[in-house]
Amino acid sequence: MNRTLVRLLQAPSIILLLLWMIVPLSMTLYFSTIRYNLLYPEREGFIGLENYRFFWTDAAFFPALMNTLVLVGSVLIITVVLGLAISVLIDRPFRGRGIVRVMLISPFFIMPTVSALVWKNMMMDPTTGLFAAMWNAMGWQPIEWLQDMPLFSIILMVSWQWTPFAILIFMTSLQSQDQEQKEAATLDGAGFWSQFYNLTLPHMARPISIVILIQMIFHLSIFAEIFVTTSGGPGVQSTNLTYLIYIQSQQAFDVGVASAGGVFAIILANIVAIFLIRAVGKTLTV
């Protein structure tokens, strides 16, 4: 192939992605510095960082930032710990292993809006939900999950969806672990924990960091689960940054402030992205 042809073939993907990135990004940056509210079209003009200040000092900003961090952090801990434990548990031959694997990874493929509705209506409903039935059977007062502990409920739903992701990745990585090494360790009298700590964990270090980074990218922008179940409430107890920006733009119609929030979200995501891209880059051979 000559060089012109090579360039020509590469051009569409590069140009399109460049446009896809530059155009909306610069529009967001521009909107974030002007007065722009769809309800008050007569107010306009450059206002510098005023939108940022407004977003920053909004009473909902700090709770939303905290909720975002708590949500991402808790889901990460739950999914990685559970994912590791479960994938080690099924990393042995036994009858029905295929079915067990399929059942374990299925929640990951359920669309987020469906999973949110199933949990909201059928699991967590305080009168007819399954949890209520379980609580009643134990003689306890059923919990109003989405009212009393909205953020925890969402953490539960998201963890149910993403633990399977961790299992899927860890399961695959475990299969590439050196079995002879493990057998040798067993012969030398190394117990389960010492094998796990000295052989399995080092082998899993990379997949674990990849799982953490990818989940962070996705969980920083959790939307559907909140939209369908709590709408960010009660109050702002389960509002994360994504949902807060969505409210600013779609309900308060304040494009300027929503864009300032968007810039904030982009910066937050990029901090994570740098690490992820480095991790991926190490494995890419050109």
Partner 1 sequence: MTDKQRENLKNRIAVVAAWGVALIFFFPIFWMVLTSFKTEGQAIAVPPLLVFEPTLENYIEIQERTNYVKFAWNSVITSFGGTAVALLIAIPSAYAMAFNPTHRTKDILMWMLSTKMLPAVGVLMPIYFLAQKAGLFDTKLVLVIIYAMVNLPIVMLILFNYFREIPKEILEASRMDGTSTYNEIRQIVMPLAWGGIASTALLSIILCWNEAFWSIVLTTTEASTLTAFVASFQAPEGLFWAKVSAVSTLACAPIVIFGWLAQKQLVQGLTFGAVK
Tell me the C-alpha distance between 115 and 110, whole Å.
6
**Least gap, CB of 147 to partner 1 (angstroms):** 13
Kind and range of the H or E element at 169?
Answer: helix 150-175
**Least gap, CB of 198 to partner 1 (angstroms):** 19
**Least gap, CB of 66 to partner 1 (angstroms):** 18
Q: Do residues 232 and 59 touch, judged by C-beta distance below 8 A?
A: no
Amino acid at 164: P
Kind and range of the H or E element at 281?
Answer: helix 255-283
Partners of 37 in beta bridges: 254
Site string for partner 1, 172-201 (x = CB under 8 A): xx--x-------------------------
Is 138 an interacting residue with respect to partner 1 (CB under 8 A)? no
DSSP 262: H
Length of the chain: 286
**Least gap, CB of 235 to partner 1 (angstroms):** 18
Is 227 an interacting residue with respect to partner 1 (CB under 8 A)? yes
Is 276 an interacting residue with respect to partner 1 (CB under 8 A)? yes
Q: Do residues 254 and 270 touch, judged by C-beta distance below 8 A?
A: no
Is 28 an interacting residue with respect to partner 1 (CB under 8 A)? yes
Q: Which of residues 235-274 bind partner 1 (CB under 8 A)?
A: 241-242, 245-246, 249-250, 255, 258-259, 261-263, 265-266, 268-270, 272-273
Among 112, 143, 185, 195, binds partner 1 (CB under 8 A): 112
